[in-house]
Structure 1
Amino acid sequence: MLVGYSSSSEEDGEPGSEARSRNSRRSVEEDERSRDLPAKKKARTEELDPKTRLPLPGCLLSMFLDDDDEALTEDSSLHGGRIRSFKHERGNWATYVYLPYPPEEEFEELLEELLSTLGAHGLILTQQEEFHLSLSQTVVLRHHWIQPFTQSLQSGLSQCRRFACSAATLKVYCNAERTRTFLGMEVSTGHAQLLDLVRVVDKTMTEFQLDTFYKEPSFHVSLAWCVGDQTEKMKELLQELQSLVDNREEGPFLLRLDCVEVRCRTGNKTFRFSLKTS
């Protein structure tokens, strides 16, 4: 008997033809899915609740402070009621030159008595955080000026000699903006040497087009301060306060300041310049 064999490829194709057919269909389906994928992703993104989105890191948000944030840094209640003489800006450094005064025990006792007396008359003063004698006004220094500015001071002050000065007379001061009143102790000896230091500091200020010191300065060490202009009321109490200075058991108090080192405070940095010994 003769057996007939069908040659139809639909029934008996070549080996592997069925696998190739399945792969072909799978690739077509994947292409169709890939074309639809961007649209589906976009739809899902639009459907997301904004609350589920990740917030920006704080370091990025702080780069773009708004007016409210800037107003917060200028809030006087955060600085004991003090008001800035100039608006704070990034890259600007508040700078001043001074002679430091390390307080002695007798001075601290006297200051406590003075503040107590003022408080009894309704004047509450805040003790200075540190005590010094100013040789310049407070000026604004750009950050990139700090190094040449301090180098100029070093060059001039290295030629100045050490000396001593003293103070014994209380005096009332008020800043130019009339926002703070100070009780200070005015220098009585060493005035000429202090003027020599000011001339050196003023030369550096002029180089950088900054304000120089007062023409007729009243050199003093500030003891305490209060908010506002309380000049008249404090002056009425000066005689009583001065008696606390003059009538002590050990004799009149004399504030002695050994001027061996000038300092410059700019922002949070402090530079020291030693004076010549002889």
Structure 2
Amino acid sequence: MSLVQYSDSESESESRELPPCKKSRHDPKPGSSLPPLPAAFHDLYASSTRVSVQDDPSLHGGRKRAIPHVEGNWPTHLYLEWYPAKEDLSLLTELILHAETSLDQNAPSVHSLLHSDLGAQLPLHISLSRPVVLRTEQRAPFTELLQKAIHVSHISPFEILPDTLDWASNYDETRWFLVLRVQKPAHDGLNGLLNLSNTALARFDQPPLYAASSHKHSQNRALSRGDKGSTLLEDYSNCFHISLAWSLSRPTAKDRERVAAIDLRALRERRITFDSVKAKIGNNVVSIPLEKEF
């Protein structure tokens, strides 16, 4: 399972990548009565102000930068974005509070990913890639390749339903995340987009998310032919998730059991719609729409 909330700086990043998938104190912020902002507005202001280019965990709640700043390198992340509505935000806030109170008494605080330190609502996401790095000259061809692949795939907008709560760590086990796992959507849109993402990244020698890198050459051939790659799809439905909060503490077995037992019936009735793929390269966010059926 993997989990990525990625930006051009680890000081801005709220989540980190988790290991390959295995089978298997915040205050609530008041909602606004104003209408939601257009999705394109969030793309223009996807990054907060950079505090430092040096790795100073004291500036970021103990988090450490995974990808250092290097001239000519562009941190890149592919994902599906979700801005929860007011009612959903309230439900998620309650879940995080419940999860925090279920931890052992001496556990460090749980940090919500729902709002920034200044109280602004933050987007949540389902990752379609690891945090990877593109060179300056690769940005445009990669974006064009991904746009074409998504267009010819004919993957339509789809809905997902929340499923279960869980705790999961990053690769280095330096942070643990409260994650909301999701049910497999109709027409398998998540696996389809993951395959396209892994295939496009493999063309630029970047590692896949979840999938084994041994599939790189066959994926490249499929992409060059414009195939949808249906015969290459593997089912990683148990890996997809939305990160809600993070902690520096390893949850105990009892912590995980308590979180898994939290009642999610109200949240499971909420449908989350995705109609585009986001490609964040440095501070620039490109929104690639999914093709609507007529």
TM-score by length of 1: 0.66
Structure 2: state its 5+ residue gaps: 1-51, 114-121, 212-235
1:87 Cα offset (Å) = 2.7
Larger relative contact order (CA 8 Å, sep ≥ 6): 2
Asked whether the 8 Å contact 2:162–2:267 carries over to 1, the reply is no
Shift of the 207–239 alpha-carbon distance from structure 1 to 2, 3 Å rule, reads closer
- Per the alignment, residue 140 of structure 2 pairs with 147
RMSD: 2.2
Asked whether the 8 Å contact 1:181–1:231 carries over to 2, the reply is no
| DSSP 3-state at the match of 2:181 | strand
1:220 Cα offset (Å) = 0.7
- Per the alignment, residue 76 of structure 2 pairs with 95
- Per the alignment, residue 172 of structure 2 pairs with 177
CA separation in 2, counterparts of 1:88 and 1:136? 19
Asked whether the 8 Å contact 1:96–1:264 carries over to 2, the reply is yes
Runs of 4+ in 1 over 3 A off after TM superposition: 118-123, 228-234, 251-255
Match of 1:133 among 126, 134, 159: 126
CA separation in 2, counterparts of 1:90 and 1:233? 45
- Per the alignment, residue 222 of structure 2 pairs with none
How do 1:34-53 residues align onto structure 2 when only pairs under 5 Å count?
A: none
How do 1:34-73 residues align onto structure 2 when only pairs under 5 Å count?
A: 73=54
Asked whether the 8 Å contact 2:79–2:129 carries over to 1, the reply is yes
1:202-231 alpha-carbon deviations (Å, 9 max, x no partner): 111111000111034611111111125336
CA separation in 2, counterparts of 1:199 and 1:110? 32
- Per the alignment, residue 220 of structure 1 pairs with 241
| DSSP 3-state at the match of 1:77 | helix
| DSSP 3-state at the match of 2:134 | strand
Asked if 1:235 corresponds to 2:256, the answer is: yes
* Letter of the 1:204 counterpart: A
TM-score by length of 2: 0.63
Aligned pair count reads 202
Asked if 1:206 corresponds to 2:206, the answer is: no
CA separation in 2, counterparts of 1:90 and 1:269? 16
| DSSP 3-state at the match of 1:74 | coil
CA separation in 2, counterparts of 1:100 and 1:253? 18
Q: Which has the higher helix share?
A: 1
Match of 1:264 among 260, 269, 279: 279
